[in-house]
């Protein structure tokens, strides 16, 4: 698979023949790492979108050594089945893959309006792209998030659907104050033009949370955030993510990210760090009551412990703890 072009950190390995770059208004960016079969299913769902809008796909392979995803997807780009660009993002890490994809989208498509994001363990419903764009326009939102609906491998796992780790933060379409995930996201070009590069801070490469940090900084800059409850992607949840150890680790990680993002938000404000630490202590003190209320409401001990673990994660972040669940992404 000889490269078409290469920079220090990005190699373009395939580009659709006859790709009309000037006509593309939406770039769907899709990072992948050691999931070639799932990648192909995600690509198929994106290319099956029911929309008249001109869009292209940018796939970012983040395994530069073995590049199984790129090998699987390259023929689809080369024979024109897929419209877009396939790249290798040589710097490992979640944030580096996103940064490579967004930079490529901006350089490849001069008339770009939006970048949309989907992950390689997700399947987009046929109206996903159209609904996200329509929501951005109707809500006058610069960034729009949508639900990642879990699909569990085990048939007896539906009770996990409402666990805080898997449930979406909002249930209705509208303007919102905060967004937390890039797994199902639309970002307008004017946001990317205004935000400093790299867009996502590599500090969060293997922990996750670079997206949450980016979204927090964008909101602080005054960009409007929205939520489209109808723009659904379905996320495959393997059995290992239902193990207590994984749930606990993800909950602690969410607490760590919460502290790090809030510290950045309050950087430079009077007593900013002290206010973050005080909030963490207050959440820890309140967590037993919140856990009890959750247990009575849901009957789930795992869901009940979530606020306890998040509060502990916030406290641990004050001492430099970092839970890098993405360090071995194939096991995540």
Q: Of 154 and 87, which is predicted with more confidence?
A: 87
pLDDT, tens digit, for every residue of 161-184? Answer: 989 999 999 999 999 999 999 999
| pTM attached to this predicted model | 0.92
141: closest CA among 103, 95, 109, 188? 188
pLDDT, tens digit, for every residue of 235-253? Answer: 999 999 999 999 999 999 9
Q: What is the pLDDT of residue 159?
A: 85
- Structural domains in the chain? 5-241 (3.90.550.10), 244-331 (no CATH)
Residue 191 has pLDDT above 70, yes or no: yes
Q: What is the pLDDT of residue 167?
A: 93
- The overall average pLDDT reported for the chain is 92
195: closest CA among 287, 261, 102? 102
Q: What is the pLDDT of residue 139?
A: 98
Q: What is the pLDDT of residue 179?
A: 97
Residue 1 has pLDDT above 60, yes or no: no
CA 224 – CA 252 distance, rounded (Å): 29
The alpha-helical segments, DSSP class H, found in the chain are: 36-47, 68-78, 94-108, 128-138, 189-194, 210-220, 244-265, 272-298, 301-317
pLDDT, tens digit, for every residue of 212-233? Answer: 999 999 999 999 999 999 999 9
């Amino acid at each position: 698979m000889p490269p078409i072009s290469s920079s220090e950190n990005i190699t373009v390995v395939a580009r659709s023949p006859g790709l009309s770059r000037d006509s593309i208004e939406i770039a769907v960016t899709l990072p992948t790492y050691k999931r070639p079969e799932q990648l192909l299913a995600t690509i198929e769902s994106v290319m099956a979108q029911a929309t008249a809008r001109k869009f292209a796909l940018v796939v970012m392979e983040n395994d530069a050594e073995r590049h199984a995803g790129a090998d699987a997807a390259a023929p689809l780009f080369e024979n024109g089945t897929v419209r877009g660009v396939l790249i290798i993002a040589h710097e490992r890490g979640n944030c580096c893959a996103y940064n490579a994809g967004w930079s490529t989208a901006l350089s490849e498509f001069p008339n770009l309006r939006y970048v949309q994001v989907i992950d390689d363990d997700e399947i987009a419903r046929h109206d996903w792209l159209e609904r996200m764009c329509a929501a951005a326009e109707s809500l006058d939102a610069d960034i729009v998030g949508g639900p990642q609906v879990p699909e569990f491998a085990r048939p007896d796992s539906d009770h996990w659907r409402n666990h805080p780790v898997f449930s979406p933060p909002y249930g209705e379409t509208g303007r919102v104050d905060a967004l937390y995930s890039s797994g199902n996201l639309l970002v307008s070009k004017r946001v990317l033009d205004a935000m400093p590069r790299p867009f996502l801070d590599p500090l969060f490469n293997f922990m996750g949370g670079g997206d949450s940090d980016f979204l927090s900084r964008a909101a602080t800059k005054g960009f409007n955030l929205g939520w489209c409850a109808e723009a659904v992607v379905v996320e495959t949840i393997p059995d290992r993510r239902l193990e207590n150890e994984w749930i606990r680790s993800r909950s602690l990680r969410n607490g760590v990210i919460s502290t790090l993002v809030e510290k950045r938000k309050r950087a430079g404000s009077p007593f900013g760090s002290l206010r973050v630490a005080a909030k963490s202590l207050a959440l820890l003190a309140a967590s037993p009551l919140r856990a009890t209320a959750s247990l009575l409401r849901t009957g789930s001990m795992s869901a009940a412990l979530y606020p306890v673990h998040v509060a502990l994660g916030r406290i641990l972040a004050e001492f430099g703890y970092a839970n890098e669940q993405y360090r071995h992404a194939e096991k995540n």
